[in-house]
């Protein structure tokens, strides 16, 4: 990296923009995790690979093409029993009945697996009381991660520590996502109007027909108070170097640069690759890491293509 930064006359994205922890997970351990595709679902998963501070998880009973990679300190992985303890619905392993599923019975009949010990999780259930000023059902205006040009009418529908689950009023749960209370993706009611931006109404409303006062009255919930929002602008600048997960092959982390910057997302260029492979990442993405992260955490780093 040192030489490369010199050759490129580039600056490394400062380490304080990222977090660093350890990884104590082992292959064969069982856990519960939020499905990154449909983020209101909690799934039963097993660790199938450990690499540096990243772990590869498999939906139990499903093909490996659905596997996901997460960081070992992910706030979206939990010890077995978390859902039961906190009154959430767990999707059990394939062909198991959600009503009668029990992890201990599962391990007894599947001795190749074992239950991951609670201490290895960054998100211990004890630390998961609400650390934000949000309340469930609070209304707000939120960027749709999948259609990032849209700012939409939204509701907080779940909370874990300092992250909240955002749901878009009138839309299917496929757009739901978890984000930090300090995220640049969420704004208080009225933000669009104040900032001359178009607010995307709940599905079913046509253009001007939506108004917040009426929507709040009809739903009976409050607008999240402005103190809930505490967004600190990100400090990424075009040209900064970093290490980023390749979205086309999640097992790889590549040498990369920031090629464009917006308020809540940055465009990542994979060094040496054509810019048609550049990808936008939300600034809170857990797939962006500082220079030398791979080396420090024992993960292979794919160097720039020469
Ligand atoms: N083109 C898509 C946009 C959906 C946006 C949803 N936002 C919460 C559609 O109309 O289906």
Statement: residue 177 has pLDDT above 70: yes
Q: How far is the CA of 263 from the centre of ligand 1 (A)?
A: 21
Establish whether residue 144 lines the binding site of ligand 1, counting it when its CB lies within 6 angstroms of any ligand atom. Answer: yes
Q: How confident is the model at residue 267 (pLDDT cuts 50, 70, 90)?
A: very high
Q: What is the pLDDT of residue 228?
A: 94
74 CB burial (10 A radius; 0-12, 13-18, 19+) = buried
- CATH 3.40.50.1220 assigned to domain 139-224? The reply is no
Write down the domain spans for the chain: 2-16+234-297, 29-121, 139-224
Statement: residue 125 has pLDDT above 90: no
Atom 10, ligand 1: which residue's CA is nearest?
A: 203
Q: How far is the CA of 185 from the centre of ligand 1 (A)?
A: 16
**Residue 279: strand pairing partners:** 268
Atom 4, ligand 1: which residue's CA is nearest?
A: 147
Q: Do 139-224 and 2-16+234-297 fall under one CATH topology?
A: yes
Q: How far is the CA of 175 from the centre of ligand 1 (A)?
A: 9
Non-local CB neighbours of 202 within 8 Å, separated by 6+ positions:
152, 153, 168, 169, 170, 171, 210, 215
pLDDT-wise least confident of 5-19, 49-63, 117-131, 219-233: 117-131
Statement: residue 103 has pLDDT above 70: yes
Atom of ligand 1 nearest to the CA of 150: 7
Atom of ligand 1 nearest to the CA of 200: 7
Non-local CB neighbours of 58 within 8 Å, separated by 6+ positions:
45, 46, 48, 64, 66, 67
What is each CA distance from 192 to 239, 266, 267, in whole angstroms?
A: 30, 21, 24
CATH tag for 29-121 (out of 3.40.50.880, 2.30.30.140, 2.40.110.10, 3.60.150.10): 2.30.30.140
Interval 83-100 mean pLDDT: 94
Interval 6-33 mean pLDDT: 86
CATH architecture of 2-16+234-297: Roll (2.30)
User: What is the per-residue pLDDT across 219-262, written as a single tens digit (0 to 9) for each?
Assistant: 999 999 999 998 889 999 999 999 999 999 999 999 999 999 99
Q: How far is the CA of 282 from the centre of ligand 1 (A)?
A: 18
Q: How confident is the model at residue 302 (pLDDT cuts 50, 70, 90)?
A: very high
Contact 167, 197 (CB under 8 A): no
Establish whether residue 147 lines the binding site of ligand 1, counting it when its CB lies within 6 angstroms of any ligand atom. Answer: yes
Pocket test for ligand 1, best of 203, 204, 206 (most atoms within 8 A of CB): 203
Pocket test for ligand 1, best of 141, 144, 157, 166 (most atoms within 8 A of CB): 144
Q: How many CB atoms lie within 10 A of CB 258?
A: 21
Establish whether residue 176 lines the binding site of ligand 1, counting it when its CB lies within 6 angstroms of any ligand atom. Answer: no
Q: What is the pLDDT of residue 126?
A: 61
pLDDT-wise least confident of 90-99, 202-211, 280-289: 202-211
Establish whether residue 171 lines the binding site of ligand 1, counting it when its CB lies within 6 angstroms of any ligand atom. Answer: yes
Atom 3, ligand 1: which residue's CA is nearest?
A: 147
Interval 57-85 mean pLDDT: 95
User: What is the per-residue pLDDT across 268-279, written as a single tens digit (0 to 9) for each?
Assistant: 999 999 999 999
Q: What is the pLDDT of residue 122?
A: 84
Place of tokens 């009426």: 214
Interval 6-10 mean pLDDT: 93
Statement: residue 20 has pLDDT above 60: no
Query: What does the alpha-carbon distance between residue 5 and residue 240 come to, in Å, rounded to a whole number?
Result: 10
């Amino acid at each position: 990296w040192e030489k490369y930064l010199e050759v490129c006359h580039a600056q490394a994205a400062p380490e304080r923009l990222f977090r660093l922890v350890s990884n104590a997970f082992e292959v064969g351990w069982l856990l519960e995790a939020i499905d990154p595709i449909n983020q209101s679902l909690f799934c039963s998963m097993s660790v199938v690979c450990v690499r540096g501070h990243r772990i590869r998880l498999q939906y139990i009973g499903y093909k490996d093409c659905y596997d996901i990679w997460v960081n070992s300190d992910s706030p979206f992985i939990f010890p077995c029993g978390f859902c039961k303890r906190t009154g959430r619905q767990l999707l059990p392993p394939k062909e198991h009945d959600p009503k009668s599923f029990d992890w201990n019975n599962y391990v007894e009949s599947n001795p190749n697996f074992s239950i991951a010990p609670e201490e290895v999780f960054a998100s211990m259930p004890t630390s998961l009381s609400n650390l934000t000023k949000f309340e469930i059902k609070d209304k707000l205006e939120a960027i749709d991660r999948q259609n990032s040009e849209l700012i939409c009418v939204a509701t907080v529908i779940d909370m874990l520590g300092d992250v909240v689950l955002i749901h878009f009023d009138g839309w299917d749960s496929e757009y739901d996502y978890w984000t930090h209370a300090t995220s640049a993706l969420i704004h208080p009611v009225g933000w669009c109007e104040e900032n001359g931006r178009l607010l995307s109404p709940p599905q079913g409303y046509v253009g001007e027909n939506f108004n917040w006062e009426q929507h709040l009255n009809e739903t009976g919930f409050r607008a999240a108070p402005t103190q809930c929002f505490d967004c600190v602008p990100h400090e990424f600048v075009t040209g900064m170097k970093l290490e980023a997960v390749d979205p086309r092959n999640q097992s790889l982390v590549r040498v990369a640069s920031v090629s464009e910057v917006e308020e809540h997302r940055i465009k990542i260029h994979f060094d040496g690759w054509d810019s048609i492979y550049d990808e936008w990442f939300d600034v809170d993405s857990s797939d962006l890491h500082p220079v030398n992260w791979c080396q420090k955490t024992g993960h292979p780093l794919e160097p720039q293509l020469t």
